[in-house]
Amino acid sequence: MTIEAYENLRQRGAKLAGGIGDLSRRACVYHHLYADSGGRNVFPLIAAHGALWAAGYFNMGIRAGKFLSLGQAFNEKRRCNLIKSLDEFADKFRDINRRVCAESYAIYHYTKIYGYSDAIEQVIGKDFLEIICQSHEASQLGLNFEKKSRAQLFFTFFHWEQENIVAPSINSAYEQFKWELIKSLALRPKIEFSYFGKSHALQFVNFSSKEERIVRGFQAYERAEQVGLDSVEEALSLYKVLPKEFILNPNKYFGAIETAIA
């Protein structure tokens, strides 16, 4: 198969990922990828938590920014510019999430449908291609995909999206954002996914560091394995963001999204 088939899946993934602010919808797409793999591909499950957590974090950040901008109450133009720059900064992160979702969908389904090919190897590399195809083969044969293999797939998937999508975009977003007070806070988020537990939050020192994001991402994965993947899946509802229809029947809800973009 040619790379054209992959591009078609990327376009479909982009439609499924929705608009820039549709973080809960993307969580549904991520969940579909996890469920379709039979729990073997854990990256999209953790990514679903990331999208849902980010929805609340962005809202909180925007509110905090508007409050802090009151210090410029006597300079309305300056205040409006600060708030606008914060909105644009947040949108860049939402767009990163959207692009990762679309790419995750394309990679998963391309490799599931076509397996090994030179075309996709050129996009994702040999190691990534081999381990994700192994997960598909295990799923098709009804075989277990042990933790060691799940960890390898997660790390390879996570490292690829950080290297190819997230890092360049995040670096650009921080460089262009000039509100230093908010910027300093945004560099040190405290990630609290709903399945972590009170003592397992991930406190960043520098979110713009790709190396730290990779370390923290793998810590989030390890915590998921400790808690149990079924519990991590159930914990998606705890953010109170997902539609009720999704909670009742995730497959049916995702099917409705697919129908809507047809």
Can you give the pLDDT at residue 119?
87
Can you give the pLDDT at residue 198?
81
Nearest to 248 by CA among 236, 231, 260: 236
Q: What angle do CA 212, 30, 52 make, to 5 degrees?
A: 65
Check pLDDT > 90 for residue 75: no
| Token duo for residue 173 | 């977003």
Can you give the pLDDT at residue 131?
98
Global confidence as pTM: 0.92
What is the average pLDDT score of the chain?
Answer: 91
Domain ranges for the chain, please list them.
3-261
Check pLDDT > 90 for residue 245: yes
Least confident of 47-51, 55-59, 120-124, 232-236: 55-59
Q: What angle do CA 236, 154, 8 make, to 5 degrees?
A: 85
Please count the CA atoms within 13 angstroms of the CA of 86 that sit on its side-chain side.
26
CA dist 191 and 193 (Å) reads 6
Q: What is the pLDDT of residues 8-39, one digit of tens each?
A: 999 999 999 999 999 999 999 999 999 999 99
Q: What sign has the CA pseudo-torsion 201, 38, 34, 150?
A: positive
| Token duo for residue 111 | 């490799």
- Average pLDDT on 159-181 reads 90
Can you give the pLDDT at residue 83?
75
Can you give the pLDDT at residue 62?
65
CA dist 250 and 208 (Å) reads 33
Q: Are 24 and 241 in contact (CB under 8 A)?
A: yes
Check pLDDT > 90 for residue 243: yes
Can you give the pLDDT at residue 67?
62
Can you give the pLDDT at residue 184?
84
Q: What is the pLDDT of residues 178-226, one digit of tens each?
A: 878 888 888 899 999 999 988 899 999 999 999 999 999 999 999 999 9
Radius of gyration of the chain (CA): 19
Q: What is the pLDDT of residues 89-147, one digit of tens each?
A: 888 999 999 999 999 999 999 999 999 988 899 999 999 999 999 999 999 999 999 99
Can you give the pLDDT at residue 179?
78
CA dist 32 and 231 (Å) reads 16
Percentage above 70 pLDDT, the chain: 92
